[in-house]
Amino acid sequence: MIMAQELTNLNPQAIWKYFAQICSIPHPSGHTAMIADYLMEAGKALGLETYRDKADNVIIRKPATPGMENRTTVILQAHYDMVPQANKATNHNFETDPILPRVDGDWVLATDTTLGADNGIGMAAILAVLESKDIVHGPIEALFTRDEETGMYGAKDIEHGILKGKILLNTDSETDGELYMSCAGGLDIEATFRYQEKETAQLADCVAFKVTLGGLLGGHSGIDINLGRLNANKAMFRFLKIAVGCHSARLASYTGGTLRNAIPREAEAVVVIPQVRAKKFLAFVEDFKRTIQHEYGFIEKGIVFGAAETEMPQKLMPEPAQDDLINAIVACHNGVYRMIPDAPEVVETSSNLSIVTANDGVAEVKILARSSSETQKYTLASELESTFSLAGAKVIFDGAYPGWEPNLQSAILNTMRPLYPQVLGREAEVKMMHAGLECGIIGSAYPGLDMISFGPTIKHPHSPEEKVNIPSVENFWRILCATLENIPVEK
């Protein structure tokens, strides 16, 4: 097993050196002060102009190498937060503990947590460019943005007029050999139910069970939304509806999912069952487990589902509120909503039922809708609003961000495409991404930016199975360096 201090044995060493340092610094979304300080210190140590804007974005400027002063200024962009996801049995504090990377064949992955290759490899590559004395390039602006994973807050609040570049290279894509020229926009839908809890002391001859679902793949709610993976919240509320209707179950509390942009991997419900129904209820639990294993076992190899007797809760949801919540979530759309009509292999619009909690008189439901079509995004959001409004919830829209429209006349696209066969011996695939990228937001603040997104191969981002392919990192580095060398002359 190769741990973080040995990553620098991998090629290209310039990237892996910085990635090892990044892994050693806690930087989950919302707790990024240490990594921002690290970036500031790195820029200053290199003797480069280094600035932190009011949104905590870090900008580092590097002058052109001799003879390249007339090239268009390039913005190299990455976000500096990471998704904090760990296997349930793992005792890992993302705010204080380092990530522990290891090598398994051609892959680098973490130990029971997300790796942070999304977007740590992009960060590391940009730092390596800033440090290099050998790479030929024009003027460079490095832009490291805050809290992309939780709402793209750094990009949304970026200072206007601070950037001078006309070309932006986003390093947040996750498949080697692909150039992305557009992405989906997003919108958060939040539904809140409020209710007066009922005392369980009034119930006689009942027993409480904690029902748990876990071991799911989860993954990125944009990139992986079309892969047919099981959403823990949808599965658990499917179970709860039958449990209520057939076994007189009463819901006491619920928690499922942790991040708005990750397909939920785990869920947990506490229910109260009449003692006389307990045996049949446990048989139903086993039957439901077999059902979802049969339906999803080809995709989900590690499904864990079961129920264990637990301490009797003091309070329950009242039956009307319980039924409204369950019915709304069972009816709630989740997954692919529409494919792009003239590119039917690409998801246009989707939703992810990301987080559901119910406790202490409040049930909250959080959904992330994505679409490359603004009209379809709001059409889906309106349907979701109607579903939860009819059930009595208060629904709000928040965190909207625009998509990134494709530009087939892009100069940087036309520069990079021929470099792939020259440098790597194969053609690049030009694609549109269903995930959200900061390009759309930054482009709205800086109209006219010519943008491309690319990166190495990263599998299972936003989950503890996240891993980055080592050979693809070298490919990414070679293309990045060749692109910088061939940036067009400023017009």
Q: How many CA atoms lie within 13 A of 427 on its CB side?
A: 4
Of 26, 10, 34, 14, nearest to 130 (Cα)?
A: 14
The three-state secondary structure class of 456 is coil
CA distance 28 to 82: 5
Q: Assess whether the previous peptide bond of 418 is cis (omega < 30° from 0).
A: no
Q: Please tell me which residue in 53, 118, 141, 148 is annotated as part of the active site.
A: 148
Q: Is 323 labeled as catalytic in the residue annotation?
A: no
Neighbouring-strand partners of residue 269: 211, 254
Question: Is residue 148 annotated as part of the catalytic site, yes or no?
Answer: yes
* Dihedral sign for Cα atoms in the order 182, 120, 223, 422: positive
Q: What is the number of alpha carbons within 13 Å of residue 314 lying toward its C-beta?
A: 3
Q: What is the 3-state secondary structure (H, E, C) of 93-110?
A: CCCCCCCCEEEECCEEEE
Q: Point out which residues pair with 450 in neighbouring strands.
A: 167
> What are the tokens at 86?
């760990």
| Residue 218 main-chain phi, psi, to 5 deg | 60, -135
In 360-481, beta strands by DSSP E: 362-371, 394-401, 429-433, 450-453, 458-459, 467-469
Angle at 39 between CA 476 and CA 128, to 5 degrees: 30
Closest CA to 128 of 10, 221, 28, 274: 10
Q: Catalytic residue numbers?
A: 81, 148
